[in-house]
Chain A
Amino acid sequence: MKIQKLIRDVLLIEWFRGLSVTFKTMLVKPVTRLYPHVKRQPFPGFRGRQALVRDPEKLKERCIMCLRCKTVCPSNCISIEVGKDENNARVLKEYSIDATRCIYCAYCVEVCPVNALVLTEEYEYLGDKRSDLFFTKEKLLSDWDEFLTNYPGDSYFNKFWRPPGMPEKMLTPQKRNEKPIEIKKKNEEIAS
C-alpha cells in the first residue's frame, strides 16, 4: 500500500489524470455565450416583465376590474383605480404595477378570469430611478405592443393563462376557450 502510494505521489499519476480531463475539455465547443452579442430566447412561459394585454378587437385593455390580481398578489404591488365614465359605467382609470416589489410568481396571471395580464418573456429591462420601474397602465400596454412586435412566431399564448394539466372545472369560461393571439394581424391593425 505504502509503496503504491509513494509511486503514485512521485509519478504524479493523479495530477495527470486530472489534467487529462482539463485537456479533453479544451477540445470541445464552449458552452458559454457571448451574452450581449448572442442572446438567448427564453422558453415559452418565462416569467419576465409585466404587461397588460391589449384586446385584438377592441384595441384597449381587457381588464374587467375584478380586483382578483390585486387581492392575490403576495407582495401587494398591484394598484387599481376604478372610475366612472359619462354613462355611469365602470372604467379602468389607472392600473399600475410596482416592478421593484414584484416577485414574479405569476399568481396574478393565473387568477385573472379574462387573461388580461401577462408576464412576458422580456427579461432585459432596467431603470436608473425607482420611477422607471413603476409601470403605469400606458406603460404596461405599450410594453405588450413592444413585446408582440419583437416576438418570434405567429401567435402568442401565455402558459399561465391556462397552466398545462389544470382541470377544466378550475378555469373560467374565457380561460377555457382562449385562443392564441395572432400577431401578424395585430401588428397591421396597429399600423393602420
Chain B
Amino acid sequence: MGSMEVKEIKEQILTTQNVCILPEVEDNLETKEMILNMGPQHPATHGVLRLVLRLDGEEIVGMEPHIGYLHRGIEKLMESKTYAQALPLTDRLDYISSPANNTAYAIAIEKLFGIEAPIRAKFIRTIFCEMARISSHLLWLATHALDIGAMTIFTYCFREREWLLDLFEMTVGARLLTNFARIGGVRCDISPEFVQGLRDFTKEFPSRVQEYETLLTKNPIWMERTIDIAQISGEDALSWGLTGPCLRGSGVDYDLRRDCPYDAYPYLKFHVPLGENGDVYDRYLCRMEELRQSNEMLKQLLDQLPEGEIISDDSPDFVIPTPPRQVEGAGSAASAFITLSKERKMINTGDLYSAVEVPKGELGVYVVSDGSGKPYRLRLRTPSFVHIAAMPALSVGHMVADIIAIIGSIDIVLGESDK
C-alpha cells in the first residue's frame, strides 16, 4: 500500500514540476531518450544555470533551462529603499559591467523626475559604459573560447581586462561593483592620470584585438565548432525578444545607442556591426567588431571631454540634506527632506520605461512612483533573462557538445537573469 502511494506522489511531483516527462514507451522501441542534467554547478554554464537536456544519442531533442539559483529579490529590495539608496543594488545585476547598469538606472530616475545631468557627467558615464562594454566582451571572449577549447586566449583577455579594472579602481575605488553613477551625475571626477591611462589603453588595444583574431577567426577548429551552430533568423530573433549582439548577429539593425541616443552618444560617430547568418560565429564576429568600435568611441570621448560640473544641483541627497542645502523654515530634518524633494519634483507620481544598451542587450527599467520617495514598483527587463528563454529554440537539433558553445555565444550572466 505504502509503496503505491509513494509512487503516485512521485508521479505527481514529476508532472507538476514539469520536469521533462519521459516519452510514452512503445512496444518495440530500439532507442531511448535520455535526460541529462547540466549544471547548476557545471563550470561551462557561466554561473548557476541548470539545463535539463533530453537527448537522443548525442542529439538534443529537448531542453529546459531552470533559473533562480541566484535570486536575491533585487526588484523587491529596491522598493524598500530610496531612489539614491537603491543604486548599489543595480551593480549586482550584471556584475561584469556594473557601470552600465548604474547608468541605466540613473537615466530612468532622471527622466522620471526631470533631472538633467551636466554634460561632463554624461561624458564620464559614457566613458565608463564603453569601458564596461569592452571588459564585458573580453570576459565573454575569454570564457567562450575556453569552453570551446582555446585555452591561451583566456589569459590574454584577462591581461587587458585587468588594465580596465585598474582604471575603474583608480577612479572609484572598486574593481567590479563600481557603484559609479549617481542620479543626476557621477560620484567622483576622473583624474588626469585616468585620462592618460585610458589613452594608453586605446592606443594599445586594437593590436590586442588583432591578436585574438589571429588566434581564433580563421582557426579551422574554431570555425568547425561555431559556423552554422545555433542559427536563428532575424524574424525569430525579434520574436524571441533577443537584443544586443545576439540580435545584430542575425542581421537586424537595432542598437539603442544609435537609435535613441542617451548621455554622450549623440556626440559620437560609430557604426553598428551586423552579422548575416545568425550563428555562433557571426555573433562572435559582431562582438569582436564592437570591441574595436568601443575603442574608437573611447578615443572620441576623451578628445571631446568637456570641463564643468559632475553633478546636477537637483541630484537627490543620499540621506538628509546637508546643512547648506537645507530649506529655510523646515521644522526637522525629515520635513526638510520632503520640502526639498517637492521643490525638486522628487515626489512626482507616474511611471516610465527607459532602456539603454548594456553589453548584453537592452536593459530596461520600468519604474512606478507613488510620490513616497521610494519606487512603488520597479521592474527590470534584463537581457540575459530573455536570452535564456530562447535557448531551447537555439539548441534543439544540435549535439551535446554544442551546448556550451551556445551558452557562451548568447553571453548570459546569471546574476542578471535571476535578479
Chain A: residues with CB nearer than 8 A to chain B? 9, 14-15, 17-18, 20-22, 25, 31, 42-43, 45-47, 68, 71-72, 74, 103-107, 110-111, 113, 119, 159-160, 163-167, 169-173
Contact = CB atoms under 8 A, between A and B. Distances in A.
Nearest to B167: A43
A98 to B, nearest CB: 16
Given A18-B215, A163-B187, A167-B309, A74 B319 contact: no
A104 B170 contact: no
Most chain A CB within 10 A, of B172, B186, B318, is at: B318
B320 A68 contact: yes
A172 B326 CA distance: 11
B309 A74 contact: no
The listed residue with most A CB atoms (<10 A of its CB), out of B159, B174, B214, B218, is B174
Contact of A43 (B173, B189, B322): B173
A167 B310 CA distance: 8
A14 B156 CA distance: 18
Interface residues of B, number: 38
A173 B220 CA distance: 66
A111 B159 CA distance: 36
Contacts of B318: 72, 107, 110-111
A166 B173 contact: no
B88 A172 contact: no
A15 B216 CA distance: 10
Contact of B85 (A68, A107, A119): A107
A87 to B, nearest CB: 26
Contacts, number: 96
Nearest to A170: B322
Contacts of A43: 166, 169-170, 173
B330 interface: no
Given A25-B156, A45-B173, A113 B322 contact: yes
A170 B310 CA distance: 12
Given A104-B177, A105-B179, 4 more contacts: A43-B173, A74-B89, A119-B173, A163-B188
Contact of B324 (A45, A106, A164, A169): A169
A148 B188 CA distance: 24
Contacts of A103: 88, 177
B3 interface: no
Contact of A42 (B86, B169, B187, B218): B169
A170 B89 contact: no
Given A45-B173, A105-B88, A163-B187, A14 B220 contact: yes
Interface string B146-172: 000000100010010010001001101
B177 A165 contact: no
Contacts of B86: 74
B70 to A, nearest CB: 16
Contacts of A169: 324-325
B319 A68 contact: yes
A119 B325 CA distance: 26
A25 to B, nearest CB: 7
Contacts of B23: none
B228 interface: no
B253 to A, nearest CB: 29
B319 A111 contact: yes
A104 B19 CA distance: 40
A22 B150 CA distance: 12
A164 B179 contact: no
Nearest to A173: B323
Nearest to A103: B88
Interface in B188-245: 188-189, 191, 211, 214-215, 218-220
B97 to A, nearest CB: 18
Contacts of A71: 319-320
Contacts of B174: 46-47, 104
B10 to A, nearest CB: 39
A30 to B, nearest CB: 10
Contact of A21 (B173, B214, B218): B214
25 contacts: A14-B219, A15-B219, A17-B218, A21-B214, A43-B169, A43-B173, A45-B172, A46-B174, A47-B174, A68-B319, A71-B319, A72-B85, A74-B81, A104-B177, A105-B179, A110-B318, A113-B322, A164-B188, A165-B188, A167-B311, A169-B324, A170-B322, A170-B324, A170-B325, A172-B324
